[in-house]
């Protein structure tokens, strides 16, 4: 048996105990693991130092080094996050529906774990405990493959976590880390349908594309966000400026930040100079021909700009003639993540909310609210930009499936 088969068999064994693990035991385990990660912070930080040293030698960019770095404070955040997940309600066992069939059979649709969840991610070692805690609380086995850049950190953390599980008489194989980070092995993982029920890639567009193209296991795409904001002719200009400033600059490198602005032609003369004044120094504005005519501080946008998720202090600006054109343009260039309209008319708000094909559509609010915590889910494993299974912020419930339980007294089909 190769690595993936060996680990896959272990994961499937462990899946059985997860299916019926009492809530208390899950919560207790998460709290003990949180404590253990802090108790062993010296070893974990020492392992992380090796990863960082390797990264420096390999010439990794400082921004990426920062993502890779663990500190005592970051470990405390990780532990606190794990305790918060322990405090969330357990989704497993919920009766989602129940009715009686014509034959008299009682039927219940019951929430159950997905099984084994594979997560493929890059050089953020915090994903390892974060993803585990969500999968574990929702009754799933975690099958993790982190980046080779943070392999020492991951091995150190997983060792502590598995030891703690074992001390609590829980099969430690509820947490599997793929230590062999070679391309061939990860490719095998993506085709291990017999062992992994769903695959969630977490990382940049390149990672996600590669997983979607290679995997034969069902994938949940967590996604890139080319978020659009449309300023309708009836918009309150002050509100529009506040929302755009928030959506663009409150945190610039995140998927729910605004990347493209559409402005109704009838409000452009009044709005664009105010926008340039408000954002002009901090944000590079790239406008189409008309926008640049009105606010010459803007650079000219190219076709490429409309489809670009900058993740930077850049915003593309296009003038449109109608809400129709705004909807059409948005549906063509966005990534189906989060889009907003600023308008004073209910009719245009409703049209935008109904006709924009995105996970989250806003009227008169910032796209930055697309977030599992903001939505009240208490946690988030990612934001899905696909329509199958889960769309938008994914919390614990989105990591579950369901089954039908039917109770009869001898019914047969006629």
Binding status of residue 355 toward a second copy by CB under 8 A? yes
Residue of the chain from 5, 95, 96, 388 that contacts a second copy (CB under 8 A): 388
Query: What tokens appear for 134 in the block?
Result: 């969500």
Report the chain's terminal Cα–Cα distance, integer Å: 47
DSSP assigned state of 40: T
Binding status of residue 357 toward a second copy by CB under 8 A? yes
Contact in structure between 315 and 287 (CB atoms under 8 Å): no
Residue of the chain from 193, 293, 300, 312 that contacts a second copy (CB under 8 A): 193
Contact in structure between 171 and 17 (CB atoms under 8 Å): yes
Query: To the nearest 10°, the Cα dihedral for 238, 242, 245, 250?
Result: 170
- Only one residue has tokens 């501080």, namely 297
Taken in order 142, 183, 37, 71, the sign of the CA dihedral is: negative
Site track 238-277 with a second copy (rule: CB under 8 A), x = hit: -x--xx-xxx--x---------------------------
Site track 293-332 with a second copy (rule: CB under 8 A), x = hit: --------------------------------------x-
Query: To the nearest 10°, the Cα dihedral for 204, 208, 209, 210?
Result: 110
Contact in structure between 228 and 333 (CB atoms under 8 Å): yes
- Residue 243 vs 262, nearer CB to a second copy: 243
Please choose, out of 60-68, 78-86, 104-112, 226-234, the segment that lies near a second copy by the rule CB under 8 A. Answer: 104-112
Residue of the chain from 2, 5, 6, 16 that contacts a second copy (CB under 8 A): 16
DSSP assigned state of 90: P
Binding status of residue 20 toward a second copy by CB under 8 A? yes
**Whole-number Å distance between alpha carbons of 143 and 135:** 10
Site track 30-49 with a second copy (rule: CB under 8 A), x = hit: --------------------
- Residue 163 vs 364, nearer CB to a second copy: 364
- Residue 3 vs 401, nearer CB to a second copy: 401
What SS3 class is residue 115?
A: coil
Binding site for a second copy (CB under 8 A): 16, 19-20, 99, 101-103, 105, 107, 112, 114-115, 193, 197-198, 212-213, 216, 218-220, 236, 239, 242-243, 245-247, 250, 331, 349, 353-355, 357-366, 368-370, 374-376, 386-389, 391-392, 401-413
């Amino acid at each position: 048996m190769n690595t993936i088969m060996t680990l896959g068999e272990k994961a499937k064994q462990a899946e059985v105990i997860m299916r019926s693990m009492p809530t208390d035991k899950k919560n207790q385990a998460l709290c003990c693991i949180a404590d253990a990660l802090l108790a062993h912070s010296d070893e974990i930080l020492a392992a992380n130092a090796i990863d960082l040293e390797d990264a420096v030698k390999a010439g990794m960019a400082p921004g990426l080094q920062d993502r890779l770095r663990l500190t005592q404070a970051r470990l405390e955040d990780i532990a606190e996050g794990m305790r918060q997940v322990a405090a969330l309600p357990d989704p497993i066992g919920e009766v989602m529906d129940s009715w009686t069939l014509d034959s008299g059979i009682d039927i219940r649709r019951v929430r159950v774990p997905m099984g084994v969840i594979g997560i493929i991610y890059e050089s953020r070692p915090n994903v390892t405990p974060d993803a585990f805690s969500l999968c574990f609380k929702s009754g799933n086995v975690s099958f993790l493959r982190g980046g080779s850049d943070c392999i020492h950190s991951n091995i150190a953390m997983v060792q502590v976590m598995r030891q703690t599980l074992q001390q609590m008489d829980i099969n430690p194989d509820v947490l599997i880390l793929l230590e062999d980070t070679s391309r061939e092995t990860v490719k095998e993982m993506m085709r291990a349908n017999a062992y992994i029920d769903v695959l969630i890639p977490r990382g940049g567009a390149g990672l996600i594309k590669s997983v979607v193209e290679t995997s034969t296991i069902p994938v949940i795409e967590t996604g890139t966000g080319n978020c659009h904001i449309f300023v309708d002719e009836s918009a309150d200009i002050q509100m529009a400026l506040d929302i755009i400033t928030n959506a663009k600059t409150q945190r610039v490198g995140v998927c729910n930040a605004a990347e493209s602005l559409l402005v109704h032609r009838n409000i452009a003369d009044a709005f664009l100079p105010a926008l340039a004044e408000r954002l002009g120094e901090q944000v590079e504005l790239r406008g189409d021909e008309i926008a640049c005519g009105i606010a010459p501080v803007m650079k000219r946008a190219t076709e490429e700009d409309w489809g670009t998720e900058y993740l930077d202090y850049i915003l593309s600006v296009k003038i449109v003639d109608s809400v129709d054109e705004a909807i059409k343009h948005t549906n063509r260039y966005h990534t189906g993540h989060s889009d907003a309209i600023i308008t004073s008319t209910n009719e245009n708000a409703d049209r935008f909310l109904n006709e924009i094909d995105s996970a989250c559509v806003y009227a008169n609010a910032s796209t930055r609210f697309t977030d599992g915590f903001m939505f009240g889910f208490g946690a988030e494993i990612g934001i899905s930009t696909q329509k199958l299974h889960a769309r938008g912020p994914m919390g614990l419930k989105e990591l579950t499936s369901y089954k039908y339980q039917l109770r009869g007294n001898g019914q047969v089909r006629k």
